[in-house]
Amino acid sequence: MRGGSMRDGAGQGVAGAAGAMEGHSVRRVVVVGAGLAGLGAVQRLCGTGSGSVRLLEAAARAGGRVCTRPFASGLAEMGAHWIHGPSPGNPVFCLATHYGLLGPEAAREENQQAEVGGHPPLPSITYGSSGRVLSPQAVSEARDLFDTLLASARDFLGVEEPPVPSVGEYVRAEITRRVPALGGGKEDARRLQLAVLAACLKLECCISGTHSMDLVALQPFGEYISLPGLDCTFPGGYSSLPERILSALPEGTVLLNKGVRTIQWQGSFREEGDNARDFPVRVECEDGDAFLADHVIVTVPLGFLKEHHQDFFQPPLPERKVEAIRRLGFGTNNKIFLEFEQPFWEPQQQLITVVWEDESPLEKPSTDLEANWFKKLIGFVVLQPPEQYGHVLCGFIAGKESEYMETLSDSEVLSTMTHVLRTLTGNLLLPAPRSMLRSRWHSAPYTRGSYSYVAVGSSGDDIDILAQPLPEDPKDPRPLQLLFAGEATHRTFYSTTHGALLSGWREAERLNQLFETPLSSEVQK
Ligand code: 6YU
Q: Where are the domains of the chain?
A: 12-63+237-329+449-524, 133-223
For the chain, give the number of residues.
525
C-beta of residue 49 within 8 angstroms of C-beta of residue 280: no
In short, whether 76's Cβ falls inside 6 Å of ligand 1 is no
- Which residues in 465-477 are b (16+ Cβ under 10 Å) and which e? bbbbbbbeeeeee
Atom of ligand 1 nearest to the CA of 488: 52
Mean pLDDT, consecutive 10-residue segments, the chain of 525 residues?
A: 33 34 70 98 85 94 98 97 96 97 87 72 90 95 96 96 98 97 92 98 98 98 96 96 97 97 98 91 98 98 98 98 98 98 95 97 95 98 94 98 98 98 97 98 98 98 98 94 99 98 98 78 38
Q: Which of 349, 361, 325 is nearest to 204 (CA)?
A: 361
Which protein residue has the closest C-alpha to ligand 1 atom 3?
Answer: 80
Q: Are strands 290-293 and 281-285 parallel, antiparallel or unpaired?
A: antiparallel
231 CA distance to ligand 1 middle (Å): 17
What is the pLDDT, as a whole number, of residue 23? 43
For residue 355, list its beta bridge partners: 128
CATH class of the structural domain 12-63+237-329+449-524: alpha beta
Nearest to 295 by CA among 479, 71, 475: 479
What ranges make up the beta strands (E) of 51-136? 51-56, 68-71, 74-77, 124-128
Q: How far is the CA of 205 from the centre of ligand 1 (A)?
A: 16
Bridge-based pairing state of the strands 435-438 and 274-279: unpaired
pTM of the model: 0.94
Q: What 3-state class would DSSP assign to 148?
A: helix
Burial class (CB in 10 A: 0-12, 13-18, 19+), 502: buried
For ligand 1, the distance from its centroid to the CA atom of residue 128, given in whole angstroms, is 32
DSSP 328: S
Contact 405, 373 (CB under 8 A): yes
Ligand 1: centre distance to CA 335 (Å): 14
- Give residue 9's pLDDT: 36
Residue of minimum CA distance from atom 15 in ligand 1: 33
- Establish whether residue 224 lines the binding site of ligand 1, counting it when its CB lies within 6 angstroms of any ligand atom: yes
Atom 8, ligand 1: which residue's CA is nearest? 80
Which amino acid makes up residue 470? Answer: L
